[in-house]
A and B are shown apart, each in its own frame.
Chain A
Amino acid sequence: MQDSVKPNGITPSQTVGPFFKYGLTPNGEYAWNDAFTNSTLTPDVTGDRVRIEGRVFDGDGIAVPDCMLEIWQADAQGRFADPQDKRALPNASFRGFARCGTDKDGNYSFDTIKPGAVPDPEGKPQAPHILLAVFGRGMLRHLYTRIYFSDEAGNAADPVLALVPTERRATLVATREGGKAVYRLDLRLQGDDETVFFDV
């Protein structure tokens, strides 16, 4: 069945369109069997539980109601639930992946734990961060960004944040609100205060 010819390139990306919610995102209006939630929390997970909230806006500052966000992160010890990461994972059922759709006002939220430090290619620790992929109608390819945390001293030495012009770094840093473990990060797809997106 499988031909052995090397493909001449990858399959191009296309938009998720406006009508993905019944198929992909959790907690929607549909009774369909959700494979995903907007929470990574599992009964055995250790670490600081946090909630990340925000809104998504387009280039006119209008809320985007048909976005899908996905996060991917290490556990509190900085380890990934991935067979390529050979280090033992103490949180046996922690997956590190969650998915959320935006609501009519562009709101999203994730319940997760603050990740530990993950090494960069030289083996130096990166500041705690979460990978975020943004999909949506009008977006022909998803965009990659990162979520950092405002109360982490390690941000100052983070090698990826260092690639970002100083005045744009705040677009990657979720701000801790009051005494609660709630962090806020709005995403702007376009404009003067556009979120930093990475070419990976």
Chain B
Amino acid sequence: MTFIYPTDSNKAHPLPLSPEYKSSIKRAPNKPLIPMRHTLSELTGPVYGHETVRQGDNDLTRQHSGEPLGERIIVHGHVRDEDGRGVPSSLVEIWQANSCGRYVHVRDQHPAPLDPNFTGAGRTVSDASGYYRFVTIKPGAYPWGNHHNAWRPAHIHLSVFGHSFVTRLVTQMYFPNDPLFPFDPIFNSVPDEKARARMVSSFDLENTKPEWALCYRFDIVLRGQNATPMENH
């Protein structure tokens, strides 16, 4: 094993206990996490390739017989590490509400229409440069009962595997200039303003397809490996 991942990078993450987000109150550990050196177990990680991803799994608008309702969008970007290196062969999974703000999940009770032509789940594998791309529908905002008049900003959930188990990331991609940002305790659970900004995609006119779909760019940054080699085994 040759590299370790600096733990300082983790300071960008939210604090587990973020009382404004009420569900975190009983689910955040009380006791401090125990620091440990990375072993081979932490420094390796699952590598998934196309054997689990079918052609078309990255196009959420083509999973049913008809076209889903809503704004068709392209979401694309690079999976990179914090040193700027592209992360190839990384499985990227997404799930999201439909254009009305309703998840297909059986327990989503928001009285907005379900779309028979939209499941809201997709996956892809990043290419040799770490590039990934999805075609989907812009999700709607939805109410969630955390506090009076609580609405989640429109977002797409993303799950990403880097090259080790310690680079595993689940995050949410937001859309630029959402008026709900100041009121959302999940978005604001990230204390650092610059880190919060890294969860917001940018409108990408250059890659917008005329007469077809707006485009948003979302670059995902995973923890990077120290340049200093560790002991070899």
Q: Do A and B come from one complex?
A: yes
Chain A contacts to B: CB under 8 angstroms: 1-2, 4-24, 29-30, 32-33, 35-36, 58-60, 62, 64, 70, 72-74, 80-85, 95-97, 118-123, 126, 129, 131, 133, 135-144, 160, 163-164, 168, 189-191, 194-200
Are B14 and A23 in touch, CB under 8 angstroms? no
Are A23 and B93 in touch, CB under 8 angstroms? yes
Instruction: Give Cα A191 to B164, complex, Å.
Output: 30
The 8 A CB mask of B34-70 against A (1 = contact, 0 = none) is: 1111111111111110001110010000000000000
Are B27 and A64 in touch, CB under 8 angstroms? yes
Are A142 and B170 in touch, CB under 8 angstroms? yes
Interface CB pairs A-B, < 8 A, 7: A7-B82, A15-B21, A22-B120, A35-B53, A73-B41, A118-B40, A123-B233
Are A190 and B30 in touch, CB under 8 angstroms? yes
Question: Size band of the B side of the interface?
Answer: 35 or more
Residue in contact with A22 in the complex, picked from B78, B119, B186, B194, CB distance below 8 Å: B119
Instruction: Give Cα A184 to B84, complex, Å.
Output: 42
Instruction: Give Cα A80 to B39, complex, Å.
Output: 12
Chain A facing B: main interface SS: loop
Smallest CB separation, A21 vs chain B (Å):
6
Residue in contact with A19 in the complex, picked from B7, B37, B103, CB distance below 8 Å: B103
Q: For residue A95, which residue of chain B has the nearest CB?
A: B46
- Say yes or no: is B16 at the interface (Cβ < 8 Å to chain A): yes
Are A4 and B84 in touch, CB under 8 angstroms? yes
Once A9-B9, A12-B190, A33-B57 are accepted as A-B contacts, the answer to whether A129 and B41 lie under 8 Å apart by CB is yes
Are B221 and A10 in touch, CB under 8 angstroms? yes
Are A35 and B163 in touch, CB under 8 angstroms? no
Once A17-B157, A72-B41 are accepted as A-B contacts, the answer to whether A11 and B171 lie under 8 Å apart by CB is yes
Instruction: Give Cα A70 to B223, complex, Å.
Output: 19
Instruction: Give Cα A197 to B187, complex, Å.
Output: 24
Chain B facing A: main interface SS: loop
Once A15-B186, A23-B94, A59-B27 are accepted as A-B contacts, the answer to whether A199 and B1 lie under 8 Å apart by CB is no
Q: For residue B30, which residue of chain A has the nearest CB?
A: A190
Contacts of A138 in B (CB 8 A): 21, 23-28
Contacts of B163 in A (CB 8 A): 84
Once A197-B33, A197-B34 are accepted as A-B contacts, the answer to whether A11 and B53 lie under 8 Å apart by CB is no
Once A13-B170, A133-B168 are accepted as A-B contacts, the answer to whether A198 and B34 lie under 8 Å apart by CB is yes
Inter-chain pairs besides A2-B129, A10-B221, A135-B170, 11 sampled, C-beta below 8 Å: A7-B82, A9-B221, A14-B157, A35-B93, A84-B163, A118-B40, A144-B166, A190-B28, A196-B34, A199-B33, A200-B166
Are A19 and B82 in touch, CB under 8 angstroms? no
Are A118 and B121 in touch, CB under 8 angstroms? no
Smallest CB separation, A140 vs chain B (Å):
4
